[in-house]
Amino acid sequence: MTGEVKIISRTYRKINGKYYARVRYKINDGKPLDILRQVENKSAIKPKQAEIEVELLKNGPVQLVAGKVTFRQLAQHAKDNI
């Protein structure tokens, strides 16, 4: 799951009365993925989004979405590492 990361949007969601910072992105024109992180209040959303984006661009998406891989990505990983 490596490649060029393109940020699609930075939004927030309110789920069960709690706020979540959300960053949506694509990797090499694949399907859109998103990262949600809970924040204390509405004013903490923008700093958390910036933190998520820096982490995403610095470390890449592999560390962030290790549990969310498609079968094609799993097969490619197996070809590369076996």
3-state class of 12 per DSSP?
strand
| Rounded distance between C-alpha atoms, residue 79 and residue 82, angstroms | 6
List pLDDT tens digits, range 11-45.
999 999 999 999 999 887 788 888 899 999 999 99
Q: Which two tokens stand for residue 71?
A: 């079968």
Residue 64: pLDDT above 50? no
Question: Could you tell me the residue ranges of all domains in the chain?
Answer: 5-81
Q: Find out whether 38 and 19 touch, Cβ atoms under 8 Å.
A: yes
Q: Find out whether 73 and 80 touch, Cβ atoms under 8 Å.
A: no
Angle, vertex CA 51, rays to CA 48 and CA 56, nearest 5: 125
